[in-house]
Amino acid sequence: MSQQPVQTVSGKLILLIKAGYWLALLIIAAMVAASFVLLQQTMATQQHNHTLLDIVGTQKTLSQRIVFLASETGAASRDKQPALVSALKQATAEFETNYDLLLKQTGADPQSPARLDPKSIESVLFAKPFHLDYFSVGLIANGDRLISALESRLNLDNDGYKGGAERVNLDASVANATLSGYAALGQRISAEADERSEKLLALHRTLFYATLGVILLVALFIFRPMSNAILRKTRELVEARNSMAFIAVHDGLTGLHNRTFLTDHFETLIKGAHRRRERLAVVQLDLDRFKQINDTLGHAAGDYVLVVTAQRMRDSCRASDLCARLGGDEFVMILNGAGSTEDINMLARRILAHINEPIVFQGTTILPGASGGIAVYPIDADNAQDLLVHADLALYSAKKMGGGNFSFFSEELRRELDYRKQLEHDIKVAISEKAFQVYFQPQVSLTNGSISGIEALVRWNHPERGMISPGEFIPVAEKCGFMPEIGRIVISKAINEAAEWNRAGIAFGRLAVNVSGTELREHDFDAFLFETLERAGLPPQKLSLEIVESVILDDEKTGIAAKLRHIRAAGVHLELDDFGTGYASLSHVNPNEIDRLKIDRRFVQNIHENGDNSKIVRAITELARGLGISIVAEGAETEAELDSLMAIGCDQVQGYSIAFPMPQDKALEWLTARMPKKAKLRVLQGSLT
């Protein structure tokens, strides 16, 4: 998954979590606030009802007290009456104040239709049978009249009622009527309070259950999906982390450990072997025919072979051993507690025998043919890097013996390694000094002897060891990645020399230079080629690039095919070198992509004695002629071989019978000597008569 979608998904998840959290918080907060308000309302109602009931109770007491004091005052002696009048006056005033407060607290309205409801407070106050308002007001009024009459009789300060006490109706019947009214009022207030409390409790109960329901819904529809999403994403992140951790130290195709893991843990294995005083064997494996499998059966077959090989490696070793894939078809096995040399020898034979068993892929039987190189700790080296290098060198030795076998690292190989290390160093120096030389080998026509081309070949004259064969230093340069630099040195020198010949009018046909797939993979190779041609002044039509069939087979993803088309479109010719030895199909022999085929020397040598080779060369020649592609045979060394090629119809040849590879000065002499002679005019002297 790319970074953009991951960030989008993470952003959406975070937004969902935040929205769910705040929504749930708001819902719960609203329910809690509603419950609090309802509780406050219930408490306020209860307090209000208690206040009313307290007033009612006080009024009941005061009504009895007023009637009692009125009776006592009338029966008391004159000297005691003033105190009783004062108490009566205070009780009446308090009764009146409480009654006003009661009316205010209840909000009773004498005009309200509620007075007709027997269960209402208004009914007790203003309707039959209690008429509490009438008796309360009458009690207050009669009490005030009686107080005024008594104050007048006792000569107390009084500006009120002047009538006699006998006119005042303030007896036990009034007190009883008032008392029964307030008792009924208290019952009605208590009943309404209970009813209101029951409603509030029911509402509170409903709200409580609703809160529980909302919490449950929030848990089910918000927090549960959110927690599931978090759990799922967490699981995905954990799996992704574990997958990344696995990929970081394992090969994606075979599941074996990769080079990174091997590098990080090799020294630990060596320390463990040193601590236990055991031997540790490093077995480096390589499939002998893996490229052939890829080229003929496809990459799917190659991948299947790699997977099966990895599984066979796992099956052949113990749990304490380490199997790793370095890349391509290169594998390494680290065998702990390897034992003696004989034990390692037997184990290696068993491993190779198992790996070399036939593999069936889609009905096709494949023989992978693995080879192995073995280096042993601490005999061959005491560190990881040297052990791998020595095992690789032993593998190279096993491959030179024909493959399908294994070889131990030896002192002879150690000397070869030292020589190769020195050779690598000398190649670096030669590259920096551009010490590589270009030799030229002509290509001629058997029909008329004309020069059809000249091939540029790399040579290296070492200052101490003299001429070093290309077969010796080129494999080392390829393994070390030096070929692109060497190739550019050769191309530049060859193009510059050919440009001088072209300006001097020396016929050389076309200059042919060999280009490897490694060079073509360089992103700026075509730019370098065109710049070199332009700087030297050599027309692109005078240059040919020789490529092998494996370059044609290279996947389009490398960009080589498109680069070759670009180069050919600029006028540079393309030649297919060593034709017949690779695995290119006839679909790649296309006149729109290839200008010339070069028959490999193994088909040319002794062609006059080998009928099969003669048939192969004839078939290739007829194929090329039918497609309109020119052809050249290399390796012709005898007159008999030249005669056979001429008879077959292969006109252009290159080989020792024509000319050996020559340095540029010798090549110039050779080309100059074979230039056609121009006719010279001779002026005749003598008489005109």
Q: What is the pLDDT of residues 414-446, one digit of tens each?
A: 787 788 888 889 999 999 999 999 999 998 988
**Residue 646 predicted with pLDDT over 60:** yes
Closest-CA residue to 266 (of 410, 406, 396, 391): 391
d(CA 212, CA 326): 63
Residues contacting 529, CB < 8 A, separation 6+: 491, 567, 572
Q: Percent of the chain beyond pLDDT 70?
A: 90
pLDDT at position 689 is: 42
Tokens of 347: 């184990």
Instruction: Convert 590-620 to b/e letters by CB count within 10 Å (16 or more is b).
Output: eeeebbbbbbbbebbbebbebeebbebbbeb
**pTM of this structure:** 0.55
d(CA 440, CA 669): 12
Exposure on the CB side of residue 630, measured as CA atoms within 13 A: 16
> How confident is the model over 356-374, as a mean pLDDT?
88
Tokens of 594: 């290839």
Which of the two residues, 583 and 217, has the higher pLDDT score?
A: 217
Whether the Cβ atoms of residue 616 and residue 583 lie closer than 8 Å to each other = no
Instruction: Convert 266-279 to b/e letters by CB count within 10 Å (16 or more is b).
Output: beebbeebeeeeeb
Report pLDDT digits (tens) over 3-21: 455 456 566 767 766 776 7
**Residue 503 predicted with pLDDT over 90:** yes
3-class secondary-structure state, position 538: coil
Which of the two residues, 331 and 232, has the higher pLDDT score?
A: 331
**Residue 394 predicted with pLDDT over 60:** yes
Residue 90's CB: how many other CB atoms inside 10 A? 14
> How confident is the model over 281-290, as a mean pLDDT?
88
**Of 175-189, 228-242, 255-269, 533-547, where does mean pLDDT reach its minimum?**
228-242
**Residue 1 predicted with pLDDT over 50:** no
- DSSP annotation of 67: H
pLDDT at position 537 is: 93
Which of the two residues, 107 and 491, has the higher pLDDT score?
A: 491
**Residue 162 predicted with pLDDT over 70:** no
Tokens of 103: 């009316």
Rounded to 10°, the helix 560-569/525-536 angle is 20
Which of the two residues, 78 and 224, has the higher pLDDT score?
A: 78
